[in-house]
Structure 1
């Protein structure tokens, strides 16, 4: 994850065929988070909406694609460069209107940029 690239895929993942991630499972560095409910691929603010299911009482979270650390198309799974607790503590996501709100997106970006950097696996 790079600070400047929080809203962009890492170069190795920036291919059209990897952008169909809806339904993929999401793994944090310490376990399962949920699945990709939907994604937004608008240039400049690419992100995933992750449904955490019962793990966080049905909460959805917005995860910038710059946190994607691995994509396994065969297993339909992505890994992200943060922990379950870090995702759980992210700014709350309630409605799709927030994905167009610059203040909300700024708070999400600031939150994830503040996390300690992780080594790529």
Structure 2
């Protein structure tokens, strides 16, 4: 496995301009552009993961809250925006550069989490998954 040429920055959008492509400027919240993604399907490199959850505003703006559960169960994970490879607003789909398993195995969202501790754990998890990406 070859090392990646650039360090992974989990808390930064790769291409912030992509958030605003093909969007009606009147509906974009520039303070929380991620909130406009609520309900979007989330796709991993190997298939569908889930949807950006309605409660996305409860997590920091540099994260997405993704529900990976079924209609019977709810399993929420926090996805740092650095894992977002692209956004298709026409299809209402967020593409991430991780596998379904990597996202589903991420630390589960807990509304009572200690922000600094959870953020550190989440950043370590996704940075490590970037190092071991195929």
Normalised TM-score (structure 2): 0.72
Task: Count matched residues.
Answer: 114
Q: Does 1:34 align with 2:50?
A: yes
Measure how far apart 1:112 and its partner are. 0.2
* Aligned match of 2:18: 13
Q: Does 1:102 align with 2:116?
A: yes
* Aligned match of 2:38: 22
CA-based RMSD: 2.8
Residues 68-109 of structure 1, C-alpha deviations (whole Å, 9 max, x = no match): 0010000000100100110111112121x32x6101110000
Rg larger for? 2
Q: Distance in 1 between matches of 2:124 and 2:60?
A: 19
| Residue ranges of structure 1 left out of the alignment (5+ in a row) | none
Q: Does 1:59 align with 2:105?
A: no
Q: Distance in 1 between matches of 2:98 and 2:7?
A: 14
Measure how far apart 1:53 and its partner are. 2.3
Normalised TM-score (structure 1): 0.79
